A = this chain, B = another copy of it.
Amino acid sequence: MSPVDTISLVNGREDRVDPADRGLAYGDGLFETMAAVDGVIGWLDYHLERLELGCRRLAIRPPDAATLRAEITEHCPPRGRCVVKLIVTRGAGARGYGPPADIEPTRILSISSWPSYPAENYSRGIRLRTLELALGENAALAGLKHLNRLEQVLAQMELRHTDAHEGLLRTTSGHVVGGTMSNVFVVRGTELATPRLARAGVAGVMRRVVLEQAGAVGLVATERDLTIADCRAADELFVTNSLLGIWPVARFDSRELAIGVHTASLMRDLGYGAAA
């Protein structure tokens, strides 16, 4: 596929979206952004599991997993890398926040070209900067990859006025959440800590993979409340998402960090460009 091509299927057909879809009206839905290599989606089971869990929490009828798998398999290019994005909304319905009882979920599968991440982000690490924007806290939505993403849009707009690659976000009560489009991990001694997502944030699939992999590189994984001070005191810092994998942090605000051995081991074990 050419770099600008995106194909989209709405409920399995090449189509556009009903203007009355609640995904558009209210952000009433969820999404998954997945990395495909030669027709195979990385951690597809985890993505589909999170999607189903999200549907349950929002009381959206989950689309049939077999249908989703078949559709992805049919349309994912058999060669090369691409991004496979799946949106599931509550469906199209009448006006008003309260969902109608008999509503069919909408699924939108989009396949687009692979983003070109600079090799230095892996080999030399990135600059991470604390942003001013504070995220609202909502336990009912925390952890979900839902479609209400205006805060992340505003965060990216703030980030563009800096020289950093990624921005670190806190909630209104000062708890670290993660990056604008990534989860954040703090290594200190043998602890690998990442913010627990009780108030805000997205429970990333790569976050789950890294937590599961921690033991293999000699780290004890924990999910807990983290402050900016915890991030400043880190021996190693890195960010993750399903597309980029793992980026080590080489500068956090004004502090320089070396790419640590644990980060490098995780990157190597999970197949993301070896640190320099």
Interface of A with B (CB < 8 Å)?
6, 8, 10, 15-28, 31, 33, 58-59, 83, 85, 87, 89-90, 94-99, 108, 110, 112, 115, 133-141, 146-157, 159-160, 172-173, 180-181, 199-200
Contacts and interface: CB of A to CB of B under 8 A. Distances in A.
Contact of A28 (B138, B139, B149, B199): B149
B153 A26 contact: yes
25 contacts: A16-B19, A17-B17, A17-B21, A19-B110, A23-B24, A24-B87, A25-B87, A26-B148, A27-B148, A27-B150, A85-B95, A90-B153, A95-B115, A96-B181, A97-B152, A97-B155, A97-B180, A97-B181, A98-B153, A134-B137, A136-B138, A137-B172, A138-B151, A141-B151, A172-B173
A136 to B, nearest CB: 2
Given A153-B99, A156-B98, A17 B25 contact: no
Copies, count: 2
A213 to B, nearest CB: 26
A6 B18 CA distance: 11
Given A22-B153, A26-B149, A97-B153, 18 more contacts: A6-B94, A6-B95, A8-B19, A21-B24, A23-B24, A24-B108, A25-B31, A26-B27, A26-B150, A28-B150, A90-B153, A95-B112, A98-B156, A98-B159, A99-B153, A135-B136, A136-B136, A148-B150
B147 A99 contact: no
A135 B159 CA distance: 25
